Amino acid sequence: MSDKSIYDAIPYIEKAAILLLTVGEEAAANILKQLGPKEVQRIGTSMATLSDVKRERVAAVFNAFIAEITNTTGFGIGADSYVRNMLTRALGAEKASGIIDRILLGGNTQGLDTLKWMDARAISDVIKQEHPQIQAIVIAYLEGDLSAEVLSYLPENMRLDVIVRVAKLDTVQPDALNELNNILERQFSGGSSAQKRRIGGTKVAADIMTNLDGNIESELMGALGDIDGELAETIQDLMFVFANLLDVDDRGIQLLLREVSNEGLVIALKGADEELREKIYNNMSARAADLLRDDLEATGPTKLSDVEAAQREILTIARRMADDGEIILGGPGEQML
The chain-wide mean pLDDT, for the chain, equals 76
- Whether 147 is covered by a domain: the verdict is yes
Q: What pLDDT is recorded for position 196?
A: 46
Quick one: 211 and 299 in the same domain?
Answer: no
CA distance 165 to 33: 32
Structure confidence at residue 185 (pLDDT): 61
Question: Domain ends where: 238, 266, 282?
Answer: 238
**pLDDT at 194 (0 to 100):** 38
- The closest alpha carbon to 337, from 226, 215, 210, 223, belongs to 210
Residue 88 lies in a domain: no
Residues 223 and 251 in one domain: no
CATH of the domain at 24: 1.10.220
Q: Would the pLDDT of 86 be above 80?
A: no
Does residue 331 form part of some domain? no
Same domain (yes/no): 148, 211: yes
Name the DSSP class of 175: H
Select from 70, 86, 117 the last residue of a domain: 70
Range of the domain at 202: 106-238
Looking at the fold, whether 35 and 136 belong to one and the same domain comes out as no
> By C-alpha distance, which of 137, 143, 204 is closest to 176?
137
Is residue 51 classed exposed, middle or buried when 0-12, 13-18 and 19+ CB atoms within 10 A define those classes? exposed
Give per-residue pLDDT as tens, 8-30.
778 878 888 888 888 778 888 87
Helix ranges (DSSP H) in 188-303: 202-211, 214-227, 229-238, 250-259, 262-269, 274-282, 286-298
> pLDDT tens digit string along 295-319?
998 888 888 888 988 888 898 888 7
Query: Tens digits of per-residue pLDDT, 112-161?
Result: 666 777 778 888 888 888 888 888 888 888 877 888 888 988 988 889 98
Query: Cα 298 to chain center, whole Å?
Result: 32
Question: Same domain, yes or no, for 186 and 212?
Answer: yes
Give the predicted TM-score (pTM) of the model.
0.44
Q: Which of 238, 259, 278 is the last residue of a domain?
A: 238
* Residues facing residue 172 across a β-bridge: 197
Count up the domains in the chain and report the number. 3
Residues 6+ apart with CB under 8 A from 285: none
**Could you give the CA distance from residue 258 to residue 288 in angstroms, rounded to a whole number?**
12
pLDDT digits (tens, 9 = 90+) for 213-266: 777 888 888 888 888 888 888 887 777 778 889 888 999 999 999 888 888 899
pLDDT number for residue 198? 57
User: 150 with 171, same domain?
Assistant: yes
